[in-house]
A and B are shown apart, each in its own frame.
Chain A
Amino acid sequence: MFDWLKPHDVLWLIPAAPLLACLWVVVVGHVVRRQYAHRPVILAIAFSAVLSYYLLLKVVPEYFGTPVAHDEHAQEHKSGDHAQADHKDGDHKAGDHKEGDHKKDSEQKVGDHKDGEHKDHDHKVAVAKAKPSTAISVNVFGETERDGKVTPVPWIRIGDPQGVPTLLVLPTLRADAMTALMLVMVTTVSLLVAIFASSYMKGDPGYPRFFAAISAFVFSMCMLVLAGNFVLMFVFWEAVGLCSYLLIGFWFKKPSAAAAAKKAFVVNRIGDLGFILGIFMVWQTFDGSIDFDTIFGDPSVIARVVTMQPEILTTICVLLFIGAVGKSAQFPLHVWLPDAMEGPTPVSALIHAATMVTAGVYLVARCTPFFVHAPTAQLIVSGIGATTALIAAITALTQYDLKRVLAYSTVSQLGYMFMALGAAAAGKEFATLAVTFAMFHMFTHAFFKAVLFLSAGSVMHSMGDVIDMRRFSGLRKALPITHITFLAGALALAGFPLLSGFWSKDEILAIIFEATKHPKHGEFFKVILGVALLTSLMTAFYTFRAYFMTFWGPEKFPEEAGHHPHDAPPAMAIPLLLLGIAALVVGGATGPTHLYGNYLAHTPGLPAAHHHEPNVPMMIISSVLAIAGISLAYLCYVASPGISRNLKSGMSWLHTCSQEGLKLDAIYLRWIVKPLRLVAQISEFIDRWVIDVIVDCVGFLPGLFGAALRPIHNGFVQSYAMVMLIGLVVCLVTALRVLAGM
């Protein structure tokens, strides 16, 4: 049916659509029909979403649904065939590609940076040859030569045009199984959030600006996952940061929003610093290569580096992980994420669920071929993940701001994902499983966190922008739809049996459990497992604490809400319900059936996976923990609210500690920000009173020299006559003595 649509066209169409929408809104929609600015954006994201699903079907067509090959031979054999087939296919595509050129030309000019210089655009379709890979890649700009060959036009190229460049950054888009899954998640959730926002943001003076930023955000995120090399990925990594800056600071009149936006960007920049240094190191280690296909496509490339410099990959991995720590809000750089709540709620949903924070997980997952050779780095990943999960969970226990509870739970769940990613330190055979489970948790998390945030947004909407849970309660009758959707999300997040979060969380627990059997790192992973289980209990508790505080108890509205709070209008309710359903079933549909795992396993570069049996005892333990947490919350906040009050007054120190996020913000302010500001003051002082004074002193010296001679030239004729006389006398005397001497 869609034969005319080639996968490599899809690749650039997916990001091009939101970019086009963004440009349209900036140029036209900002002025004309401002209240309809959401339409092109929603249309474009919907277009991208449809194409993403199409891409999902196209990237791995032959394998789809089949179980992962248990023995490697079969897989290699099959993939070899596949690669050949693909190759032929690719040639074929390149052949019949020409027909569509003209039409594409016109679209592409608008879509891709409006580059008018090259008359004959074309794409270079390069299906990776050497390895059993199923990556599709396309270069956004290309020049067709007279003989029909296509040369990609580089973005940055350093080196002789005829020779080997020392640095070559091609605008390559590349898709494999992992990319396709990410794209589906990003575009689906973004679409629903955008629809929700079209109603939520109604009447805001910056309506078009909001939607322009949203589409730019989706564009950057799509490009981030589609990027075919490290530098391009970094470019959009930063672009995502910019969009988050614009969206968090959307209500820039609020000082807190302006501060939060700056904090988010600067803290992210610290992570980016690690990322870019990591890229430099990759570039140097792999002889100037930064392409994913070149580095990850062929295991021998990495193997050669490992034999020559065994330690270098650890350094690279740690540096790349610093980037992930920044973007995915891991300890110690997680402090920006809770503050990011200053943005409009749909932005929080977007940042927390589908975009931005998932980028870090994606980066580490993408670089799995590096990480498998760096067990030390993986231990760090796991350790940081566990620390983050625990800290964030403790903090979430006592927050009164509904959105902050959710924010900390995001941080905590991201910690879970990193715990899983690091579990491959226990052996290379775990690598693929670890990546699969982390990505799977990210996938399910995207849906239930989106529904939770949007429900919180719906609560805010009806409560007149009040989000403090102490000021409202018992909303389940007033807001029935929001109540149901929030409950669905909360159950999924808490890991209630058979719902989304349960499947993904259970798999993470299972892989960590497997890792505890490792002889060397077993002890380490036992601690991690303990943290994971404890966090799981706390997650269930704080999620349902928020739920009970908001929706149960006596009905109470703040005065800002007016008399009759209204539930979500249809444009908000439909996305909520869809996401709620997804939160319930998406895990069960793709997790236990191995649909997700098998699909992801086709990502080129991932080592062959072992078959993984569900770990039934772990499932039971995690179910028990989830139900225990929920019951505990019920006990404390519905059955006998006195308990929580007594606990709070009994352990007030612990309570404030938790409420202020272990005082990390204060500690950073006191021990990092303030000292740095002090350094700045000192530098300023030195500049003004030391360096500049030295300069002035040096400048003063010639003047001083002059001053020494100045008294002679005092301007009195008498003294000049006097000096002349003395001079004359001296001359005469000398002359006479000379003469006398003769």
Chain B
Amino acid sequence: MPSLLVILIVLPAAAAAMLLLLDAKAPPVRARWAALLATLATFLVSLGVASQFLSINRSGIEGTSPVHAQMEQKYTWMTIVPETADVPPITLQFHLGLDGISLAMVLLTTLLTISAVLVSWTAISERSAEFYASLLILETGLIGVFCAFDLLLFYVFFEFTLIPLFFMVGIWGGPLRRYAAGKFFIYTLAGSVITLLGLIWLVVETYHIGIATHTPLATPFSIPAITELLAVHALPMETQVFLFLMIAAGFMVKVPLFPFHTWLPLAHVEAPTAGSVLLAGVLLKLGAYGFLRLCLPTVPGACLSVGMPLIGTLSVIGIVYGSFCALAQNDIKKLVAYSSVAHLGFCMLGLFALNTEGISGGVLQMVNHGLSTGALFCIVGMFYERYHTRQLSELGGLANRMPLLAVAMVFTSFASIGLPGLNGFVGEVLSLMGMFKRDPILAMIGATGVVLGAWYLLGVLQKAFFGPLQEPHHDSHDEPVADLNAREVMALLPLLTMCLWLGLFPQGLLDLIRPDVESIAKLYGDVHATKGTGAKNYSLKRPSDADESADAALPENVERKAPQANPNPNPNLLNPAAPEAPKSEVRP
């Protein structure tokens, strides 16, 4: 039996194939129920994967490599035997796996896809089998990106996600759908091509280093292998900078960072609701995830010297500029799209703080933005379906008519604003804290986004939801517009619950991603050597620790830790250290 991870990736695609091949002319009802069942099943499988993952004892893996996958699945694709005998054959693999970060993103994807199906329930009535098939194929692509630990596989999945979304925007979108779909596709593809060149160059360079240091790589496309080698033998600085810029090109468009963001509002406005939910919720994260997976661990020198100032500045501009653009919008969907630019700015600001706080905050922000913006797009879709307008000037006092929708909107807006107790806060604060440690000025400018965010989102609440009722012309003249129905509540409820849960108990997620974040941050000399454990000695760390641990050889570190190890088992919520748990690593 194949492992759950493979099932997870294949399941949505199989469901899509069934929809298309067996039942292409299915009535909408059958198609949407099939899609709902498929996404629910996928979600359940992802929960199974999560529980398997959590039963793995991951203590101590921080030292092994900057990127380390669990539950690995390796299938050899082809083997190239070089002419010289002293070099081992080069193997290309389907290398699947999971780490804490990718698990979080996979769960986000499977959860959001359910909501995406539910919000399309009545909105998509034409060619619905094809629509849901695209949605499911998109899900496969997204899960694939997060599970890929091989450069080629990563890139294939990364590009593959464009295709279903292209069709979703282009076929089921708004009036300008063709232009939007084309622009979205070509713009991101153009960026990605540069990234591909960069990745190939990276592999070639790494391979040569491997040969030169007599540790040749058998699998030069495997991300853990590359990062492990580069963590010991760094590339020359100039190469790093060029590689960074090339690899970053595609990801910067995808995130999107400030000057490369113009495809996003257009794509969002034209996309159907489900497309917007997945586009904002997961697709944008591919860029940030790419930075985290491919840039930060491979070219640390360039990330620190070029990336931090460059990306940091662009993110800060993105935060402020995106917020201002959002403030000027009359179309709520476009407003939310620009708010995504600002939020992703926070995320990138955190990642490029290059320390544990910042990267943790960035990853949290990825998840949080997915949840809250996903929910915002769902809500916008819901009242668009009722009124066929999203113009702020035409709406007013919707809270009088639809109290449930208004409650959901207020809740989601505050989550998005970053109110403590809801999810946005922890991610934003950690990102800013991390950046404050690295560069206080950037953090201070970035923090103004918090005020601007409150301004534009509360402005939407004030204009569209509060005040006297003002309804535009709508279809059902005789009866008033109804409040949320059970299906719509079910679409929103999981997202809002997760917003609240992650806001109240962020530590579970932080513990999940901690080993992976720390092993990356270690490259930047941020993880401090263990010293003086004890309940009250939390507070004081010395600056000199940084120097010690920056180049600390790993075995030493472990030895130093051992005698002082805290007798208490670690207080992780999600990762109870269970030594008897079976290691579910599969190495065929």
Contact = CB atoms under 8 A, between A and B. Distances in A.
A238 B424 CA distance: 13
Choose among B454, B465, B542, B565 the residue with the greatest number of A CB atoms under 10 Å from its CB.
B454
A238 B571 contact: no
Contact of B467 (A236, A239, A253): A253
A163 B531 contact: yes
Interface in A160-213: 160-168
A239 B348 CA distance: 27
A147 B532 CA distance: 21
A418 B537 CA distance: 35
B462 A259 contact: yes
Interface in A269-322: 269-270, 272-273, 276-277, 280-281, 283-284, 286-289, 291, 294
B446 to A, nearest CB: 11
Given A288-B539, A289-B540, A158 B572 contact: no
Interface string B451-480: 100110011011001111100000000000
Interface string B521-533: 0000001111111
Contacts of B561: 162-163
A663 interface: no
Nearest to B182: A699
Contact of B429 (A276, A291, A676, A683): A276
B450 A269 contact: yes
A680 B324 contact: yes
A684 B565 contact: no
A234 interface: yes
Contacts of A676: 324, 327
Contacts of B329: 684
B507 A692 contact: no
A273 B327 CA distance: 19
B251 interface: no
A618 interface: no
A120 interface: no
B518 A160 contact: yes
Interface stretch (B23-31, B149-157, B414-422, B580-588): B414-422
A161 B357 contact: no
B565 to A, nearest CB: 5
A697 to B, nearest CB: 12
Interface stretch (A148-156, A486-494, A603-611): A148-156
B530 A160 contact: yes
A270 B533 contact: no
B82 interface: no
Interface stretch (B47-55, B436-444, B482-490): B436-444
Interface string B503-546: 01111001100100010000000011111110101111110000
B450 A273 contact: yes
A62 interface: no
Contacts of A115: 505
A294 B357 contact: no
A587 B326 CA distance: 51
A255 B469 CA distance: 10
A3 interface: no
Interface in B292-325: 321, 324-325
Contacts of B286: none
B419 A249 contact: no
A18 B238 CA distance: 61
Interface string A221-261: 00000000001001110110010010001001111011101
B566 interface: yes
B466 A158 contact: no
B448 interface: yes
Interface residues of B, number: 83
Contact of B573 (A117, A147, A277, A283): A117
Contact of A162 (B425, B537, B539, B570): B570
A306 B397 CA distance: 54
Contacts of A683: 321, 324-325, 328
Contact of A253 (B324, B468, B541, B569): B468
B538 A239 contact: no
Contacts, number: 198
B528 A691 contact: no
B192 interface: no
Nearest to B527: A160
Nearest to B355: A166
Contact of B532 (A164, A245, A288): A164
A97 interface: no
A4 to B, nearest CB: 27
Given A155-B506, A252-B467, A165 B540 contact: no
A401 interface: no
B430 interface: yes
Contacts of A252: 399, 465-467
Given A164-B528, A242-B419, A276-B429, A287 B186 contact: no
Contact of B397 (A253, A270, A677): A253
A479 interface: no
A261 to B, nearest CB: 8
A162 B532 CA distance: 10
A594 interface: no
B360 interface: yes
A98 interface: no
A164 B538 contact: yes
A679 B360 CA distance: 33
Contact of A154 (B430, B507, B542): B507
B466 A258 contact: yes
B432 interface: yes
Interface residues of A, number: 72
Contacts of A270: 451
Given A235-B420, A262-B461, A277 B566 contact: no
Interface string A402-420: 0000000000000000000
Query: Which of B329, B433, B573 has the most chain A CB atoms inside 10 A of its CB?
Result: B433
A167 B433 contact: yes
Q: Which of A143, A258, A283 has the most CB of B within 10 A?
A: A258
Nearest to B187: A695
A291 B535 CA distance: 13
Contacts of A265: 454, 458
B396 to A, nearest CB: 9
B426 interface: yes
A681 interface: yes
Contacts of B466: 249, 252-253, 255, 257-258, 261
Nearest to B575: A161
Given A238-B419, A269-B451, A699-B183, A143 B459 contact: no
A164 B328 contact: no
A427 interface: no
Q: Which of B265, B444, B541 has the most CB of A within 10 A?
A: B541
18 contacts: A154-B571, A155-B507, A160-B527, A161-B514, A162-B565, A162-B566, A164-B533, A164-B538, A167-B433, A255-B468, A258-B462, A266-B451, A273-B451, A679-B324, A683-B325, A692-B262, A695-B262, A695-B263
Top 8 A-B pairs, shortest CB-CB distance: A258-B466, A289-B539, A163-B530, A161-B570, A235-B420, A684-B328, A680-B328, A680-B327
Interface of B: 62, 183, 186-187, 259, 262-263, 265, 321, 324-325, 327-329, 356-357, 360, 397, 399-400, 414, 419-421, 425-426, 429-430, 432-433, 436-437, 440, 443-444, 447-448, 450-451, 454-455, 458-459, 461-462, 465-469, 504-507, 510-511, 514, 518, 527-533, 535, 537-542, 561, 564-573
Interface of A: 113, 115, 117, 143, 145, 147, 149, 151, 153-168, 231, 234-236, 238-239, 242, 245, 249, 252-255, 257-259, 261-262, 265-266, 269-270, 272-273, 276-277, 280-281, 283-284, 286-289, 291, 294, 676-677, 679-681, 683-684, 687, 691-692, 695, 699
Given A164-B530, A239-B421, 16 more contacts: A113-B505, A158-B357, A159-B527, A160-B62, A161-B570, A162-B570, A167-B357, A167-B433, A235-B425, A242-B419, A259-B462, A287-B540, A291-B539, A683-B321, A683-B328, A684-B328
